[in-house]
Amino acid sequence: MNWVLPSKGCSHIEQTIKSMCGQTTQKIDKETTNIMDYYTELKFKNEILSVAYGLGYNGTSSGSSCQGECPKHGSDSGKCLVIWPGIQGWHCYHCDAKGDVINLVEHYKSCDHATARNYLADRVKMPHLGQSKMSAEELKQLKEDQAEKDLVFNMLTRAVEWFHAQLDNFPDIQDHLTGHYKFSKDIIKELQIGFAPPDLNHPDNTSDLANHLLRIPEFKGKLLLTGLFNFNDPSGPYYNYFKGRIIFPFWKDGKVVDLIGRATTITPQDKYECYTDKEGNIKWKNS
C-alpha cells in the first residue's frame, strides 16, 4: 500500500487556523496577546485532574486516562466521566458533556464561563480577567474573536467525532491503524482518529458531514471557516474536502484545533472547484 501525506490537505486546514489566529493578532495585538496569555497561564496552573479531585471527582487511573462518576447523574459502572491528563480534556460518555478544565468547572458547579474562570483564577491566586486597562471596544472585539475561534474548534471537534464514527464501516482501515501504525484501540478512541469515507459510489453527493454539522444551529452559515468543505457557491451545497483519508486530529485543552488527512489506496483523485486561501478568500481552482 502506498500511504502519502497530502500536503494540500494538511496546509489548507493549517492555514485556515493560522490565518484566523493571524487576523486576530493583527487586529488588537497586545491586548489579544494578554488575554491569550491569561487563558494559557490559567489552564497551565490548573491541572485538570487536581481541579477535578478538588471538585469531588472520584476517578481511578486506567492507562492514560482516569475514569469516574459524573456529578450530573448516577451510573452503574461509575466510570462514565473520563479525564485525559495528556490532552487536559474530559468527556462524560453518559451525558456527552466534554471540554477543557474551564468546561469541567462549569459542569460541576452548574455555573457560567466567567464564574468558572474566576473560580480557577482564585484557586491559583491569579487576578480575575477584566481587571485590566482594556477599553470596552477592545474587550468586545476580543470576545468576538475568541468566540469565533472557539466556534471553529467546536466545529472541528464535532467533525472529528463524525470521522471517528465512520471507522465502524471500514474494518480494513481499522486493521491498518492497528497493524501498520501500531495504534492500540484505546489510543484510536482517545485521540478520536477517524476516516473520511471516499464517496466513491456517489461522487456528486453533497457532504454527509456538512449535513451532520448543520443540525447544530450555531454552526449554520459558519461551516466554511473549518476548511473542511469544497463548494461551487459559498452558500452551498458543500462537498467533502477529505475523501478516503485517515484523519488525525490535533488536540489542545480538550478541543480539536487542527487536523490532517493521510491518503489511502482508496483516496479518489478528483478535483474540487473552490477553496479558501490563507486569508480566508474564496478561490476558484482554474482561475
107 by Cβ neighbours in 10 Å (0-12 / 13-18 / 19+) ranks as buried
94 vs 222 by CB, closer to Zn ion: 94
* Part in contact with Zn ion (CB under 5 A); list of ranges 67-75, 126-134, 216-224, 234-242: 67-75
What is the Cα gyration radius of the chain? 20
Task: Please report how close the Cβ of residue 94 comes to Zn ion at its closest, in angstroms.
Answer: 4
Residue selected from 42, 48, 70, 228 as contacting Zn ion according to rule CB under 5 A: 70
Q: Which residues of 145-178 are buried (b: 16+ CB within 10 A; e: fewer)?
A: beeebeebbbbbbbbbbbbbebbeebeebbebbe
Interface with Zn ion, residue 209, by CB under 5 A: no
92 vs 191 by CB, closer to Zn ion: 92
Residue 260 amino acid letter: I
79 vs 117 by CB, closer to Zn ion: 79
Task: Please report how close the Cβ of residue 81 comes to Zn ion at its closest, in angstroms.
Answer: 6
Contacts with Zn ion, 86-105, as mask; x by CB under 5 A? ------x-xx----------
Task: Please report how close the Cβ of residue 187 comes to Zn ion at its closest, in angstroms.
Answer: 23
Task: Please report how close the Cβ of residue 99 comes to Zn ion at its closest, in angstroms.
Answer: 12
Task: Please report how close the Cβ of residue 73 comes to Zn ion at its closest, in angstroms.
Answer: 6
Residues facing residue 90 across a β-bridge: 83, 99
77 vs 286 by CB, closer to Zn ion: 77
* Part in contact with Zn ion (CB under 5 A); list of ranges 22-30, 39-47, 51-59, 84-92: 84-92
43 vs 98 by CB, closer to Zn ion: 98
Cβ neighbours for 224, distance < 8 A, ≥ 6 positions apart: 231, 234, 238, 276
Task: Please report how close the Cβ of residue 47 comes to Zn ion at its closest, in angstroms.
Answer: 21
CA distance 247 to 164: 8
* β-pairing verdict for 81-84 and 65-68: antiparallel
108 vs 275 by CB, closer to Zn ion: 108
Instruction: Report residue 149 as a C-alpha cell.
Output: 475561534
35 by Cβ neighbours in 10 Å (0-12 / 13-18 / 19+) ranks as buried
Residues facing residue 255 across a β-bridge: 252
Q: Is the dihedral of CA 272, 278, 283, 285 positive or negative?
A: negative
70 vs 105 by CB, closer to Zn ion: 70
Residues contacting Zn ion: total by CB under 5 A: 5
Footprint of Zn ion (CB under 5 A): 70, 72, 92, 94-95
